[in-house]
């Protein structure tokens, strides 16, 4: 039986489009989502304060609330900006994967979650998060499907599929090939296919296998990484796989913030 989470969100302005912005936060991940009814989610917080300047380009200055943040896993390049985000915005909910960390950033974030009485939810496969019930916009959690506290941090990343009508986004955190192989897939119904794929682990060679790319079969892939980063992301092996499957990609290190808008039928790169 599918577990459905009806979350109480704050009210914001109304428009006709779902907006998804892959934020330029350097060597890290952060994604801003705004539904037509104004509900807002931030998936991952990047490594540092850069999330605040990136958000300021896509949110009205007077808007100081965010309905939900999602920490795909507790590595610093994904949660480093969240303590500052919580200091500067009223955050109502947080979804975590259930892993813990001994890092100062993680400890600081958890202290602020408790201090600000932010509602915490541990992600599990089958959670169906409704962003806009009138337009049937939702985020389905595909992984974790188990207790991940003993798993490698990247392997334990939250993976979710954001859907609005005919358009969809696959969001992967730092999920590895190992994680990709654990995610349930109905081949007949093509359940993993998505228009936009956020490439796992900044374009690492250990993520986004050929089989995963074939299952998702995106129209475009997004690589979130810092320019000339010391890890060599994106790796040539990943770029070769994208090329072999004729999947075009956009990168935050080249394009800055990457914005898509959808009306449920048409997907527009802004």
What's the number of domains the chain is made of?
1
| Domain presence at residue 14 | yes
The residue written with tokens 């955190």 in the block is 173
Structural domain range at position 20: 4-263
Contact in structure between 116 and 94 (CB atoms under 8 Å):
no
Q: What is the pTM of this model?
A: 0.94
Domain contains 111:
yes
Which pairs from 105-112 meet CB under 8 Å and 24+ separation?
A: 105/76, 105/79, 105/80, 106/74, 106/76, 106/79, 108/83, 109/71, 109/79, 109/82, 109/83, 112/83, 112/86, 112/87
> Position of tokens 């896993």?
73
pLDDT at 248: 98
Kindly state whether residue 269 falls inside one of the protein's structural domains: no
pLDDT-flagged residues of the chain (< 70): 1-14
With respect to residue 220, please indicate whether it lies within any of the assigned structural domains. yes
252 Cβ contact partners less than 8 Å away, ≥ 6 residues apart: 22, 23, 24, 25, 222, 223, 224, 225, 258
pLDDT at 15: 76
The answer to whether position 99 is within a domain reads: yes
- Whether residue 102 is contained in a domain is answered as yes
Whole-number Å distance between alpha carbons of 160 and 144: 10
DSSP H helices in 116-200: 177-182
Residue 212 lies in a domain: yes
The 8-class DSSP code of residue 189 comes to T
Q: What is the pLDDT of residues 98-140, one digit of tens each?
A: 999 999 999 999 999 999 999 999 999 999 999 999 999 999 9
Provide the edge-to-edge strand list for the sheet that holds 4-5: 4-5, 128-132, 137-143, 159-164, 167-171, 196-198, 220-223, 249-251
**pLDDT at residue number 166:** 97
d(CA 106, CA 101): 6
**Structural domain contains residue 270:** no
Whichever domain contains 140, its CATH number is 3.60.15.10
């Amino acid at each position: 039986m599918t577990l459905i989470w009806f979350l109480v969100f704050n009210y914001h302005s109304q428009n006709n489009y779902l907006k998804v912005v892959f934020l330029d936060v350097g060597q890290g991940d952060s994604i801003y989502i705004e539904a037509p009814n104004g509900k807002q989610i931030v998936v991952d917080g990047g490594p540092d304060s850069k999330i605040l300047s990136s958000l300021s380009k896509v949110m009205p200055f007077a808007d100081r609330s965010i309905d939900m943040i999602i920490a795909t896993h507790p590595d610093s390049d994904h949660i480093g900006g969240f303590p500052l985000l919580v200091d500067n915005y009223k955050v109502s909910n947080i979804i975590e994967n259930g892993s813990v960390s001994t890092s100062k950033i993680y400890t600081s974030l958890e202290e602020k979650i408790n201090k600000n009485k932010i509602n915490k939810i541990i992600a599990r496969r089958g959670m169906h998060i409704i962003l806009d019930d009138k337009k049937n916009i939702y985020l389905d959690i595909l992984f974790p499907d188990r207790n991940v506290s003993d798993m490698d941090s990247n392997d334990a990343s939250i993976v979710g599929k954001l859907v609005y009508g005919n358009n969809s986004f696959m969001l992967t955190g730092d999920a590895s090939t190992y994680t990709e192989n654990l995610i349930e897939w109905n081949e007949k119904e093509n359940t993993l296919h998505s228009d936009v794929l956020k490439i796992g682990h900044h374009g690492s060679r250990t993520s986004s296998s050929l089989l995963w790319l074939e299952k998702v079969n995106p129209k475009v892939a997004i690589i979130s990484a810092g320019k000339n980063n010391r890890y060599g992301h994106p790796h040539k092996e990943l770029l070769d796989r994208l090329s072999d499957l004729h999947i075009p990609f956009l990168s935050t290190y080249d394009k800055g913030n990457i914005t898509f808008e959808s009306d449920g039928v048409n997907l527009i790169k802004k």
